[in-house]
Amino acid sequence: MNLKIKNALISLSDKENILSLLKILKKYNINIISSGGTYKYIKKLGYECSEISKYTGFKEMLDGRVKTLHPKIHAGILHDRQNKLHKIEMSKQKFPPIDLVVVNFYPFQKIVTNSKNIKNVIENIDIGGPTLVRAAAKNFKNVSIITNKNDYSILIKELKKNEGKTSLKFREFMSSKAFGLTAYYDSMIAHWFNKKLEIQFPERKTIFGRKFRNLRYGENPHQQSSIYVNDYNDRDIGFKQIHGKELSYNNYNDMFASLEVLGSIKGKAVTVIIKHANPCGISKDKNPINSFRNAYSCDPVSAFGGVIACNYKINKKIALEISKNFLEVILSNGFDNEALKILMKKKNLRIIDISKYKPKNNLLIKSFDGSFMIQNKDEIKITKKRIKCVTRLKPTKKEIDEIIFAYNICKYVKSNAIVLSNNFSTIGIGAGQPSRLDSCKIAVQKAKKFRPNKIRNSVAASDAFFPFADGVKTLIKSGVRIIVQPGGSMRDQEVIDEANKAKIKMLFTGTRHFNH
């Protein structure tokens, strides 16, 4: 059912692009009602407009907190044009219908991002705007609601097509967008209060997100996918794509996994290589080129088609090294011009500048069929104070630094996880096995295949305790001389005895790092 628009209410915080809308409203003789700054702005542009205070006969009060909250406004929006009783009531009150509502909200997001003044934040929680929007959206059968300046062009097209009228299909679609906005707006405010009050797990949890872009598909071609930004600055993700194909669902998944690892390791030059959200090579070195080479040589087969993240600037020398291999994505703390010329020869390689990226959220969310779980991230870092040596042989200070490096990587490897490390570079990683023994075997197998000269006297880190001594025996036999694990098994003593028998060093952390 197409309905003629006779009266429109416009109340805007962001007045950009309004001129194009005013022109079309004038063309179809649509009366405009407005308040405060919007009224003055419309008049300044040379268009007729009725001020709300004169329209309702009630002046704005409480510093503008109350202006559109009036029966004449909300009855005009909410009454059912097909209901005889509604018509009689409206006629008695002499309340005309309002057929179009154009509203955007106080800039709560912007204020929260740029101000620490609590009073200023509170004053920018919009009340009248969301109330108008919800009223118009509920009555989409009779009223059109526009909440986004980007939708002015759609409304203009609709009015031109229907000669000043809107279709039910249009009104219902705009209603769905409007309720999405009010839910989004309220969830941001709830998030702000929860953060202020340090409430991590409130009784009711809403997760806000703005669509950043549609993705080509999900994990597989038959799955649909989009990426959303869950932040007050919801216009970008924090890094910049310089070159290459569009990023896919799997690309983003691997990129965020690589950034988590990268951000956890302190060092001049750290390189992280990720494949299917699992680390397959990590190295820390004073020299960036050595860091890259060591990380890549950990498992060059798995690194094929992977994602590389670096905390240093890519130069020509490193770019030449990268270009020898097939990679999906390279993330770096900047690129020099010569490096970009080399890397951009690869048409599909996604080149991402992460120099301005900052992690903002410490919660992990997993959704299921009708439910979801939330936990905070595993951000515990093992330090010297948290480590207890349980064998007769004790580690040196240098070995403790290597132990900490290896063990902290474990939490980013899918469980069951075994990480072999030598000189602050991974040399073998066993990931995602139901059996810890199998993870040990895979880590050893990888090290023997790609870094055989590094396995002797290496460090092995396990994300959880060894339930039996078989995994420890496998590691010892390969040449590992230090094993770090949480401890806590009923057979801890059996495992410790095995370590002492082999004259290796074993340390307990008391902290498990499962990653499912």
Within a 13 Å sphere around the CA of 65, how many CA atoms are in the beta-carbon half? 6
CB–CB of 411/516 below 8 Å?
no
Catalytic residue among 138, 243, 313, 346: 138
Q: 426 and 450 in contact (C-beta within 8 Å)?
A: no
Helix (H, G, I), strand (E, B) or coil at 122: helix
458 to 233, 483, 505: CA distances (angstroms): 44, 9, 11
Q: Are 473 and 396 in contact (CB under 8 A)?
A: no
Asked whether 353 and 335 are in contact (CB, 8 A), the reply is yes
Instruction: Assess contact for 472 and 466: CB atoms under 8 A.
Output: yes
Half-sphere exposure of 299 (CA within 13 A, CB side): 30
Report how far residue 379's alpha carbon sits from residue 509's, in angstroms, rounded to the nearest whole number.
15
What does DSSP say about strands 100-103 and 144-146: parallel, antiparallel, or unpaired?
A: parallel
Q: Is 513 a catalytic residue?
A: no
Instruction: Determine whether 276 is an active site residue.
Output: yes
The percent of the chain in helix, strand and coil, each rounded to the nearest 5, is 40, 20, 40
Of residues 74, 86, 276, 346, which has the active-site annotation? 276
Helix (H) or strand (E) holding 3: strand 3-4
| CA triple 127-130-131, angle to 5 deg | 80
| Residue pair 294/285 in contact by the 8 Å Cβ criterion | yes
Q: Which strands sit side by side in the sheet containing 269-275, from one edge to the other?
A: 240-243, 350-353, 327-332, 306-310, 269-275, 278-285
Task: Please identify every residue annotated as catalytic.
Answer: 138, 276
